[in-house]
Structure 1
Amino acid sequence: MKKLVMVSIFMSFAGAASAQVNEFGLDPNLAPWENFDLSVWGLDSPALREISANNETGVRIDDFEFIALREGPNNSDFDDAEDLFFGSDSDVESSDPYFFTGPDGGMVFKSPVNGGRTSLNTRFPRSELREYVRGGVTSRDNGLSIRISGVNENNWVLGYQPDNLILDDNGSSGRGVENVGGRNGLLRATLRVNKVTETGRPDDIGATIIGQIHAEDDEPLRLYYRKLPQNERGSIYALHEINGGSDLEERVFVGSRDDDAENPDEGIALDELFSYEIENVGALINVTVRRGDLNGDIIDIITFDMEAENSDYDRRNEWMYFKAGAYTQNNVAVEEFNNQLLPGADTTGFGPDGTEADFDQITFYQLEVSHDDNDCTACSE
């Protein structure tokens, strides 16, 4: 099968003169978008653009020059989130506390529990990359527009989805499968979880999402890291969400997602290097977790079979994108902390009394994404 897209987000600066370049080729003196190629990613940032009694909105940052789709609060994917661009110090200044280069050159995502939410459909803050296969390009050579969301070149489809996926602007079929961003997908990452939340409800504490396959409304794959305050090591588990429902299938790599989980003997400690691979091939989602880098020892490999689970993603109008970063799963703490915020309050993760909000922080050292072309040779009929 031909490869339509192969983007390596880890960039090796072998020729760099800096003596501070680390083992992954990352320079702590450079911005994240200088160490990493972020041309097919946008950032959902928890930086608060506006604070009021009923409106805390987040910031959206993209590497590509386009105006984000705004259709009003009932239709837009983002609640009037501010459009910013990587590579401009003035444009990204508001998100510096939440997306920056660490002292070891890694790409750091920090998500405080009082951060703004960038989607109308979530109560959780995040500092997280969102994939756009075409790099967010919103126009074709023939002048036709490409939406950021939807079944189009900016997003991809699962391997078992049927062909003829796209409708034209008048709602008629006929554009063909070539206008989908790709079929099947592979996301690979090396990272360290530096900190997780230690406050909030028992079922919220210490849990953060580190990688996703996201559909229009639901998530075929969510990969979690969770460490409880009393434990030295954390657990890793994955959830598969059935399309249009609340049913979840769970697979555990190490430890337990339970609120009273014991310290996992083979778990991952804070600041310990590990890697994951999230792969869709046909109706299967395979997830691999390793110790160390992408060549490290395998902890476990799990598989979700979407046909066997009757997951209902094999539709013509469904579309996918990868996400990677820190997606805080602590909404009680969010609500409690935001109730203390006043208009004009400090938006760098501190409350009116100067107390720093609890937060998750994750550092990435490698990030790769690839897709097959959309020839649909193995599609369901």
Structure 2
Amino acid sequence: MIKNHLSQVFYCFIITIILVFNSCKDKINSENQTKTEQTEVSKTVYASSVIPFFDQWKLILGDGSNAGIATEFENKDFFYTQNDGKDNWVVFKSPNGGDTHGTSNNTRTELAQTKKWYPKTANDKLSATLKVMNVSATGDATVAASHSVVVGQIHSADAFENEPLKIFYKKYPGHTKGSVFWHYEINTAGDDNAKRWDYSSAVWGNDFSVVGSDVSTFPEEPKEGIELGEEFSYQVVVKDGIMNLTFTSPNHETKTFTKNLLLSEYTTKSDIPEQTKKLFFPIGQDGVERSEAYAGEGCFFKLGCYNQTNGKSPEVNKNWCSGAETHGGDIQKQYADGNYAEVWFKTGSISVSDTAVSNDGYFAKND
């Protein structure tokens, strides 16, 4: 009888020990999980801590939404940070197809300056260091915009909302090197903006007009081009109506350009460059520019990943509609097979003149 009682006591003692041990173990595991979750949160590096100028921009995402001021913000599909083993970078990513912002055919994950300035009184500057990590794997090779992305802009906030500056990177599939070039879009004279066109200037490699001979035949690879993942920098300065551009990259020649934003070079048909006649005249874009160009219009900077490749048929527009794969707008499928643009920025800076004013009107029209 005593022996059985002692056995029962011993059995209860063991069960109690086991329950206490498991309870302590669960508590420790729970505490460790909480610490891990807290550590993961504390390790999040936001874009605004890598490039501390996000209070001066609003962010448009690759699904067409306006994320607003992107301080301590990330979106794993479109906008986040990445460390390449040496530096933190801000990643901008946009698929070929999906919901677009405003009236554009193209998706973008892009910053738009919250203030606008006027070229005549401006003293404004934008600088950035970046590397393009991907451009679309598909697209009609005869379409000039295929396989390209815009990484910086000056945009008008008024009238036709045209673009006196777009900085492109473009690389054909199978090529090691791609091209960097910039565009000036005329501020069309008259009331019809349908006849507007761009003029393209090569920085490293080719300009916009160098295209394939047929849908799947690419032009020759540029010898002095820029590879995917290769750093380059641009600086845009607009002062007293003059736009000055500087492009630098290690192991590449520094290139500089100047453009008057107040006085047009293209006020008559005879002024229009041959490059433009070749690209734009066949699709009816043969307008002239107003003599004062962008004088009197508020302008603002943009920076990010404005994917120029889309799924629209080239029959709609032979320069801008790429006929690329979009998987019906399924973003993850596009990301899986390379049908997107991705740009990483390491540094960026902006200076704004005292004459700059709110750019809320642009966002009101394009939200």
1:87 aligns with 72
2:265 aligns with 309
- Mark the CA change 1:263 to 1:41 in structure 2 (over 3 Å): closer, same or farther: same
1:328 aligns with 307
2:298 aligns with 319
Counterpart selection for 2:150 from 202, 209, 218: 209
Q: Is the 8 A contact 1:114 1:357 kept in 2?
A: no
1:249 aligns with 199
Which stretch has the larger CA shift, 215-224 or 256-265? 256-265
Ranked by relative contact order (alpha carbons within 8 Å, sequence separation 6 or more), the top structure is 2
Aligned pairs (5 A) from 1:49-64: 58-63=64-69
Aligned pairs (5 A) from 1:126-275: 126-132=108-114, 154-158=115-119, 160=120, 183-202=122-141, 203=143, 204-216=145-157, 217-244=161-188, 245=193, 246-256=196-206, 257=208, 258-260=210-212, 261-275=219-233
1:289 aligns with 247
Local SS of the residue matching 1:349: helix
- Which runs of no fewer than 5 residues in structure 1 stay unpaired? 1-26, 48-57, 64-84, 133-153, 162-182, 376-381
Counterpart selection for 1:40 from 51, 56, 61: 56
Q: Is the 8 A contact 1:99 1:108 kept in 2?
A: yes
Local SS of the residue matching 1:106: strand
Local SS of the residue matching 1:198: coil
Q: CA deviation at 1:308?
A: 4.4
Q: What's the CA shift string for 1:84-137, capped at 9, x where partnerless?
A: x5435xxx5xx3211010133100001111232111x211001111111xxxxx
Q: Is the 8 A contact 2:51 2:346 kept in 1?
A: no
TM-score (norm 1): 0.62
Count of residue pairs the alignment pairs up: 258
- Structure 2 residue identity aligned to 1:276: Y
1:8 aligns with none
Identical counterparts, % of pairs: 26
2:365 aligns with none
Q: CA deviation at 1:284?
A: 1.9
User: Which aligned segments of 4 or more residues in structure 1 are displaced greater than 3 angstroms?
Assistant: 310-316, 333-339, 354-357
Q: CA deviation at 1:249?
A: 2.5
TM-score (norm 2): 0.64
Structure 1 or 2, whichever has the larger Rg, is 2
- Structure 2 residue identity aligned to 1:212: Q
Take 1:35 and 1:232, find their aligned partners in 2: how far apart are those partners? Answer: 29
- Structure 1 residue identity aligned to 2:177: R
Supply the RMSD in Å over aligned alpha carbons: 2.7
